[in-house]
Structure 1
Amino acid sequence: MTEAFSEILYSVADRVATITLNRPERMNAWSTVMEAETRAAFALAVADDDVRAIVLTATGKGFCVGADVSAIATRGAERPTYAGVTPPPGDAPPTEDFARRYSYMLNIGKPVIAGINGAVAGVGFCLTLFCDLRFMAAGTKLSTAFARRGLVAEHGSAWMLPRLIGPMNAADLLLSGRSITAEEAAGMGLVRVLPADGFGAAVQAYAADLANNCSPRSMRVIKRQVTLAPFQTLSEAVEMAEVEQDATRGTEDRREGVAAFLEKRKPNFTGR
């Protein structure tokens, strides 16, 4: 399955939807068109029951080097249109925090995997923070870049980054705007590095493993647990786990998961 867009590519194979930023001549600089199309593609993936995992990646040598500088002068007056996607794609958000410009990705009940194939900075970097997993090609670099452009930590990055890598590492990356390698980012726990050779195939293989061997229902609930945890006390997190575990006991997926384990075969999960 493929859909026609002008600045991204969208395809579905092996239960994985792949959203590919596709302005390689501009190092996939972020534009209002690209933003609207990416949002619309996420909506397609959410609505497609055959899709169980989503990969966000890019063509060319860069993942996304930030906002298209040719549009910065008008950015204050120009807001993205979302191609009729209202409300944001995803489950009903428990809080407005998960219905904002990029945070809606945390509210999508399917794992969202960033395949960072090349250089990433600025808003492109922010985009990856709202993905559940981040794989980065060896030898590539990332930067927040904001302080070196006279900007501030945009799009909730000052909230997300400390929760992913700790306050000191977050302050380092945000205040300095320096470029770091994929390997240094991995040392902070921000990404997992994969060899540049065969990078795209390796990311797809990981996503396909989730999509074909893990319960969609389990992944949806676990993602919600992880997403809500920063807002919860430990007691609230334990209570949520107990409620969800009780609800799981009567599901088809639980029965199938146990049967597949005992019969030493691959599971055939339905999400029910």
Structure 2
Amino acid sequence: MRISNNLLGAIISCVFFALFSWIAILLISSRFFDTFSYIFFVFIRDQGLFSFLTNAILFCGALIALGFLIVASWYKKLDVWLYTFALGMCVGCVYIVAFCASTEIKPQELTDLLLIESSIDHRSMIESLWDYKLRIILSLIVYVFFIFMPLIFAILHLVPNTKTYTGWLLDITQPSFNTIVIALFACAFQPFYFKQNAYDYIDLALFAAGIILFFVVLVRQKHTLNFYGYSNLAILIFGVVLVAFCSNILASSDQYFSVRYTLYAFVFIVWCVECMYNYITYDEE
């Protein structure tokens, strides 16, 4: 598991702390203050704050990918696979932002966000899986590529052979400690009780498995953590405890996933930025 001991790691940690702080303020306000009991639901509605944050993160990712193409082309010969990846990331992020911005969505009332009798999940498992197909696919990608694979590789001490092209590519694209922590926090953002369907229980089980693997690796590599590593670890622990206390808030509306979409976008962009940074600075390490 790669530990980011550089300026990029510090910047990512600061942005993660800012994003976490805002989410924590909304949850605490909705959970413990009657005056602000609906403030969380105000921001998770369609075209709300978290939809804007997701688009903003993706747009920043497109700008970063464009900058990488320019800098890498000037700095050294650009690898064809990374060039294709960066170009695809730039175009893909712009397309998603443009698509979301051009989609007209009917304004939602707060009562529409709450799980009233007509919206409580009475569907079959197949219907639920189909309705939640986007979040299921994205969650599986995050679990497999940003949590389970890097952690299992670390536990089994599987190190890529950097003398080969495939090994070199795996080495610079492996998720860092920061990326794994952010991915775990994103997957932790779910109601720990008041589950509505089988998918929710599977989601919780996968998160629990990821946390166990994470702490197994952490016990072995804790001596390599720096200040920002411990800070992100503290944020993750506090975040899991906070989500557990506020599960009744999250269970009141399945649109809490707007926050997870924002965090998923952040995980992806952080990973992409670290891959680009690793490529540019690889010869210096």
**TM-score of the superposition, structure 2-length normalised?**
0.26
Q: Which has the larger radius of gyration?
A: 2
**TM-score of the superposition, structure 1-length normalised?**
0.27
Higher relative contact order (CA 8 A, sep 6+): 2
Which has more strand, going by share of residues?
1
Which has more helix, going by share of residues?
2
